[in-house]
Amino acid sequence: MRKKIVAGNWKMNLDYSEGLALFSEVVNMVNDEATGNQQVVVCSPFIHLHSLAALAKGYSNVAIGAQNAHQAESGAYTGEISAKQVKSTGAEYVILGHSERRQYFGENNELLATKTDTALKNGLKPIFCIGETLQEREAEKHFNIIKSQLVEGVFHLDADAFGTLVLAYEPVWAIGTGVTATSDQAQEIHAFIRKEIAAKYSQAVADATTILYGGSCNPKNAAELFGCADIDGGLIGGASLKSRDFTDIVKAFN
Active-site amino acid positions: 98, 170
- Tell me if residue 232 falls in helix, strand or coil: coil
238 part of the interface to ligand PEP, by CB under 6 A? yes
CB of 222 to ligand PEP, least distance (A): 11
What span, in angstroms and rounded, lies between the C-alpha atoms of 6 and 33? 11
**Contact range with ligand PEP by CB under 6 A, out of 24-32, 49-57, 152-160, 212-220:** 212-220
| Residue number with CB closer to ligand PEP (65 or 215) | 215
170 part of the interface to ligand PEP, by CB under 6 A? yes
Out of 97, 131, 171, 215, point to the residue binding ligand PEP (CB under 6 A): 215
**Contact range with ligand PEP by CB under 6 A, out of 24-32, 197-205, 219-227, 231-239:** 231-239
| Residue number with CB closer to ligand PEP (55 or 95) | 95
User: Which single residue brings its beta carbon nearest to ligand PEP?
Assistant: 237
Is the four-CA dihedral 4, 251, 239, 194 of positive or negative sign? positive
237 part of the interface to ligand PEP, by CB under 6 A? yes
Helix or strand (DSSP H, E) at 186 = helix 183-200
- Tell me if residue 40 falls in helix, strand or coil: strand
Out of 36, 123, 163, 176, point to the residue binding ligand PEP (CB under 6 A): 176
Interface size with ligand PEP, residues (CB under 6 A): 13
| Residue number with CB closer to ligand PEP (126 or 238) | 238
139 contacts 106 by C-beta, under 8 angstroms: no
| Residue number with CB closer to ligand PEP (205 or 223) | 223
107 part of the interface to ligand PEP, by CB under 6 A? no
71 contacts 116 by C-beta, under 8 angstroms: no
What span, in angstroms and rounded, lies between the C-alpha atoms of 225 and 221? 6
CB of 202 to ligand PEP, least distance (A): 29
β-pairing, 166-169 vs 125-130, is: parallel
Residue 214 assigned ligand-binding role: no
196 contacts 211 by C-beta, under 8 angstroms: no
C-alpha to C-alpha distances, 53 to 21, 143, 193, 239, nearest whole angstrom: 14, 37, 31, 21
CB of 145 to ligand PEP, least distance (A): 17
Helices 16-30 and 49-56: crossing angle, nearest 10°? 20
214 part of the interface to ligand PEP, by CB under 6 A? yes
175 part of the interface to ligand PEP, by CB under 6 A? yes
β-pairing, 38-43 vs 4-9, is: parallel
Out of 6, 236, 250, 252, point to the residue binding ligand PEP (CB under 6 A): 236
Q: DSSP alpha helices (H): ranges in 65-104?
A: 83-88, 99-104
For ligand PEP, the binding residues (CB under 6 A) are 9, 170, 175-176, 214-217, 235-239
